[in-house]
Amino acid sequence: MSGKKTGIFKEFKEFITRGNVLDMAVGIIIGGAFTAIVNSLVNDILNPFINTIFGGFGFDGMNLVVKLPWVTLMRNMGLNVEYPVFAFGNFISAVISFLITAVALFFLIKGINAVKKLAEKKKADEEAPAPTTKICPYCRSEINIEATRCPHCTSQL
């Protein structure tokens, strides 16, 4: 019984210390916050602006009441049934939010990749071994970097 318990605990510990679990958690939290910002941008700034262009008829007012015949029938029978409302303005807002998020993510990933590439290049440059040879200015032979006399042409360097 206790052996099974420690097994699950060990498994959970391995899962949580794998590292990418924490990265994922940070990603989800940042993603949620970012979604709120994009939604606010669309609903609080973009939509009121679009409303002024279309003379007060923006995404908020784009609702389509669908007068389904069977609902009409039920209403005629005295039943309290509402017609379905297709809020396609909200749907358009969601599509715009998605596009803004996609574009923002594209540039974010592009930026991260550029920084990563730069860091990798810097690391490669630092790891490159220091030169151990030099070229003799008289005979153009490759000689030891610390040589004071060329072994090929015996010139003093």
Residues engaged in binding Zn ion (CB under 5 A): 136, 138-139, 150, 152-153
What's the CA gap between 106 and 108, in Å, rounded? 5
Alpha helices in 17-87 (DSSP H): 20-40, 47-53, 69-76
How many residues does the structure list for the chain? 157
Q: Whole-number minimum distance, CB 157 to Zn ion, in Å?
A: 8
CA 135, 137, 139, 145 torsion: positive or negative?
Answer: negative
Report the residue number, 17 or 154, with the smaller CB distance to Zn ion. Answer: 154
Report the residue number, 85 or 147, with the smaller CB distance to Zn ion. Answer: 147
Report the residue number, 42 or 150, with the smaller CB distance to Zn ion. Answer: 150
Report the residue number, 96 or 150, with the smaller CB distance to Zn ion. Answer: 150
> Are 42 and 100 a contacting pair, CB within 8 Å?
yes
Q: Whole-number minimum distance, CB 130 to Zn ion, in Å?
A: 22
Q: Whole-number minimum distance, CB 148 to Zn ion, in Å?
A: 12
